[in-house]
Structure 1
């Protein structure tokens, strides 16, 4: 058994990205609740930063609460997983945002200073690619990137990864992010990647 902290990115007043009347915070919560459920079924202990869209602490407060819990409790968190969705758009000459619809893909982001974070990010991205969840639909290969200024992976004590599940500005990926079967497959691949990391 391992101990994880999950985070459904944004929430409350912070909607995160928004596109075509879809709010990122809502998709993040859907995936995170499924992630929590499957991790528990696999025998892991899970704490989460939010279970709904009410009374959501801001990002830095969440980081502080996680660090306090990690420092004061045993067993410690083995890792933190923060769930997000992405957008790719530019502002045209009229000031309107236009989608870069061709941009798509899954990203697992970690801190340069965290070897464990790197290993976890690689394990998850490899499993998502292995399952063909992204590439099967013509998408970009799952990639692992270094986070440069993301508070979530730099201001928390346990190893942390931030997962960008897909692009809301890509019509096909947005459709898939709402598809219940796709959600289950994505979450299963993420948890398989987490288990592979834990088993070493």
Structure 2
């Protein structure tokens, strides 16, 4: 399917403390909850891709946008939505807002769709206010000059769902109900963009599977690890073949990453997995050749 959502969520679990959150609420906790539920809602409807791993350490902003741009180069229909919780020195400030790159009419259109879907899902303006008019053009040199809007080559917007620093908003951001409904807004918006029907899944009882360790729940079948961006082109060829996400070694989540870990550049030292496939050489050219030989098999 060509429909693809770059399901971004800002920050990793190691960013709080010291920053990216308020006492009792790491921002990553909210962001990743919305991203994970969005992925669940869109399963079987469209492809979702996350450059920031669930429950993982922070992947640098530049690295994330590089990953999204590489995906966009392969699929020009892809769109991106980045989740965030806002903060302000004035505790009275609150509300929902969407940022888009000022010169992109398509990004503005996507932002307008998200704002409209938010208003439909949360019609009570007293309880769920809108920040300003809800739409913010991200412009060079201004306070709205956001890296995620500026450096992504595709249609990409950044959502500030509410303010962590406001007491009422804080309660919402801590709420599982609000997080799931935010994900619903995000999923509906993506489907609306592509003209795909989407209905809220009906709640139904399901047999509970045997409990598994949390690490097992989060573990992928396959994953690719690169030492640095020099090895990224070779890793992209491998990712297309084995259909696995790519991670930079410095931004890996804690615990075992996947059952099968493909190392492009370097070795398995410091990595955790059940099986390792080492595709490395003394330089990036030998590493690229190692990947090429593997792909011939």
Q: Tell me if TM exceeds 0.5.
A: yes
Does the residue aligned with 1:135 lie in a helix, a strand or coil? coil
- Say whether 1:144 aligns with 2:135: yes
Q: 1:40 pairs with 38, 43, 64, which one?
A: 43
**Shift of residue 133 of structure 1?**
5.4
Query: Which stretch has the larger CA shift, 109-118 or 129-138?
Result: 129-138
Instruction: Give the 3 Å change call, closer, same or farther, for CA 36–7 of structure 1 in structure 2.
Output: same
Structure 2: where are the runs of 5+ without partners?
140-144, 197-297
Number of residue equivalences = 187
Pair member with larger Rg: 2
**Shift of residue 23 of structure 1?**
1.5
Q: Is the 8 A contact 1:6 1:46 kept in 2?
A: yes
**Shift of residue 77 of structure 1?**
4.7
Q: Is the 8 A contact 2:5 2:190 kept in 1?
A: no
**Shift of residue 63 of structure 1?**
0.9
- Say whether 1:14 aligns with 2:24: no
Instruction: Give the 3 Å change call, closer, same or farther, for CA 18–56 of structure 1 in structure 2.
Output: closer
**Shift of residue 4 of structure 1?**
1.2
Q: Which residue of 2 aligns with 1:84?
A: 84
- Say whether 1:164 aligns with 2:155: no
Instruction: Give the 3 Å change call, closer, same or farther, for CA 70–177 of structure 1 in structure 2.
Output: same
**Shift of residue 50 of structure 1?**
2.1
Q: Which residue of 1 aligns with 2:109?
A: 119
Instruction: Give the 3 Å change call, closer, same or farther, for CA 112–51 of structure 1 in structure 2.
Output: same
Q: Distance in 2 between matches of 1:145 and 1:162?
A: 10
Structure 1: where are the runs of 5+ without partners?
90-99
- Say whether 1:182 aligns with 2:206: no
Q: Which residue of 2 aligns with 1:194?
A: 190
**Shift of residue 161 of structure 1?**
0.5
Q: 2:93 pairs with 100, 103, 122, which one?
A: 103
Q: CA RMSD in A?
A: 2.1
Output one character per residue of 1:140-176: Cα deviation in whole Å (capped at 9) or x when no partner: 3660111132111111111000000100011111111
Higher-RCO chain (CA-CA 8 Å, sequence separation at least 6) = 1
Q: Distance in 1 between matches of 2:77 and 2:43?
A: 15
- Say whether 1:52 aligns with 2:54: yes
**Shift of residue 182 of structure 1?**
1.8
TM-score, length basis structure 2:
0.58
Instruction: Give the 3 Å change call, closer, same or farther, for CA 189–138 of structure 1 in structure 2.
Output: closer
